[in-house]
A and B are shown apart, each in its own frame.
Chain A
Amino acid sequence: MKDLKHLYYFEKLLEDANNDLVRQAKAEGRLALGYTCYHMPEVLLNLDGCFSVRLRAPRTGSMEIATYYMSNATCEYARALLERGLEGGYKFLDAMAGVDVCECMNRGMENMELLGVSDPEKKGFFWCNLDSPCSDDEDCVAHLREQLSRKILKPLYENYGIDVSDAAIRKAVERHNEICRLITEIGNFRKLDNPTITGYEFHILTLATYVCPKDLVVEKLRETLEELKTREPDPKKKFRAKVVVVGSEIDDPELISLIEDSGALVVADRFCYGSFPGRQEIVLTEDEDALTQVCRNYLQTTLCVRHCAQHKVQKRLDFAAELARDYHADGIIYEQIKFCTYWSYERALASHVMHNEYNIPTLSIDRPYMSRTSGQLRTRVQAFVESIEIKKIKAKKNREVK
């Protein structure tokens, strides 16, 4: 396929947390608010006058200092963020909106605060460690609402004078929804028999929407969507199988590239920093205040493995199977970043259930934060692709015999 016109532009934006668009927005006087997790409602960090930056640590090398503070048996994502923070990579931020959702991120955030990774010159800077509920009933909604009001909206208003009114939240939701509509429409091209967008390209676009001010990427996204409407696919399919990737956070597009180089086109993404969930519209009514509705939306749409009630576990399994069906995938890759406690349980269970009960070929992998050089991973994915191909050939032969 011909290269997407703006792909290089979007790739460049992912090379540094403090990228060109972040710097542009900061120069305009807006506040950059760092966050790490879906459980921090991104939309509330995008009120007029501020914008969200979901933190990444691109080009991570040694994590010795973070390992000293957190030990080597902790999630590399949390350690990479701490290391980058200690290197001074997040000094551009005006607040850090953390969530107490897992032990590793909790420790990472606590260390960042104690070790002073923020800019001391920023007098309005505030740290937040939000207590996010593990379920979605109305008590949980009320609890989350209280936490967000006190730990995010109040300091935004008091420290920086940001308008946190109901009208301001509704306006932020509208902006958020526009990005979601574009990403959804772009993602739908992955349902084609011969998709006109690769998983790598889609992940680049999606990631850009997490790490840049929304209003500054929207025009290029619109142009990309128009380009995709007429983009010619490769005459001969370059992939040998289609897969859904399900699992813990992936903010390294090189992992998707590695999977696709091994023959498996990634047609759907159910992982943190992906589009499911995260890039679906938030529908607000006039019957209730916007903040409560936002809280309910995030709690009900989350597919996070820390929600461990049985109906939530079942919902996640069904959703993965639905994605495989809707996007015509041949299999599912369950991935987990090393030392992620929640996903180590979910991956073991789900990969078994998917294979044995849903009859969907499943590959289960664990991986480091940066995995581009892993020969073992390439071999595993390629062998998985080959096994899918062989199953298809056998099924075809069986049909011919009948």
Chain B
Amino acid sequence: MECTGAQILLESLQKEGVDVLFGYPGGAVITIYDALPSFPKLRHIHVRHEQGAVHAADGYARASGKVGVCLVTSGPGATNTVTGIATAYCDSIPLVVFTGQVPTHLIGNDAFQEVDIVGITRPCTKHNFLVKDVNKLAVTIRQAFYLARSGRPGPVLVDLPSDIMVAKTEFVWPDDISMRSYNPTYKPNLNQLRRAVEELAQAERPVLLGGGGVIMANAAESLTTLARKLHIPVTCTLMGLGGFPGTDPLWLGMVGMHGTYAANMAINNADVLLCVGARFDDRVTGKLAAFAPKARIVHIDIDPTSIRKNVEVQVPVVGDCRLALEGMLEICAARLADKDWQGMHASWLAAVDAWKKDKPLSYQQGEAIKPQEVVEALYDITQGDAIVTTEVGQHQMWVAQFFAFTRPRTLLTSGGLGTMGYGFPAAMGAQIALPGKKVIAVAGDGSLLMNIQELTTIVANKLPVKVVILNNRYLGMVRQWQELFYKRNYSSTDMDAQPDFVKLAEAFGAEGYRIADPAQLRPMLEKALASPNPAIIDVVVEREENVYPMVPAGAALDEMLLV
């Protein structure tokens, strides 16, 4: 039977196991939207801005481990996805973004709502396609999903000219997929794994550093097992949080610019650093020349380009993080079953504990509500059983520091690109992926306004997402830098002009709460979080609170500002 391109597209999505797509209609995709109601198994979430669609699909992907899918129109619909795509690319999130395009005979003519979105997104997608032949549509979609979810995952864009969506052909779903130019390495080299274990066996002061790869590869359990078996303290990057229980005695806290004293000191004094699925971002390493100066480094990553890009590595291991960690565990069991790891690392763990006790994360109570206190209250009330998304800035760092994530896929945050406006739509996507979960978007008063239009989508779909604003009426992180490094010149960071967030919530049909009295913080939060409805909880916090510790940009990890 002959099908139209639009039918082939939607049929292919079902074959790929897609159940939700986030989208916004427009001229170039009317044909697809016309066919959509005939596919009732595909739930379409009609967002209010294309950027929201991509972040929502991203939140859906991070929370569920599945591929997030978007459908938008050509021209401005397509360009509005770029920030979301770049966000997903930086954090290796599997997405497939379908963009409408003008008909093939008009491409290159500067037609209405025409933009070269394949050209625009080339550097921020894992790969992208322009489909010019309806007979290649199904195989292209198959390849797009395969690329998005395999190897180091990432966003893939498929540009769909409107005439291809109308054209008809036989629907043939390719059973098998292989691409001669694309073969990610999953299985790590056994010799390299042996060398990695040998490094650990000789180490006196080992540290395990987990990154986003631990989450993406579902390697959290193996990482935890290895750390506990070998008695190695663990730190994570922002993207790795949840990859190791934040309540475990071996937990050091986050590493890097706003990492804990213990984590940064441990890295600085380690003799062996086992890095799993992290890419040594500048926010993690600080001054490269002074990073882990005493350590031999073992680096496991599925992407060979991550290895030896920033940091010299003694034992590179290319492969899937989970398979690599399992392989190391097997080698330990076979060769080093009797080794007294605990005894060997006792003095090191004692030193690490001393750092933890000496300079723990802390803040001073004051007259106003402290933002850190809000995050702690959220943790206590939910007992950690929640999915927390963040925007970008001070509140993001306080969440990373004061919410003890214990399970993977529970912190959704824009780590690499640092996209303000990410967290709120991402929470929407996460709530759709996991309807039974408590989903909390922690936001700054600046970030939230960047995609506030999605409150309509949240209300329309009856999603009980809770937004907690740590409202200091500043772009707090920029203000902090201005205070510390720019002589308190608070240029354009005072956000004194802001909406009444309670009324704003109500105008959208959500619940609005304001908490300004410290005594009311916990009871009001409890009440608001218990609501079955979407809600904005505007918490008025200390205006000029800073995030500490802080490693100034370009300084070494042990050059932390502690107060």
Real binding pair: no
Using a CB–CB cutoff of 8 Å, the interface residues on chain B facing chain A are: none
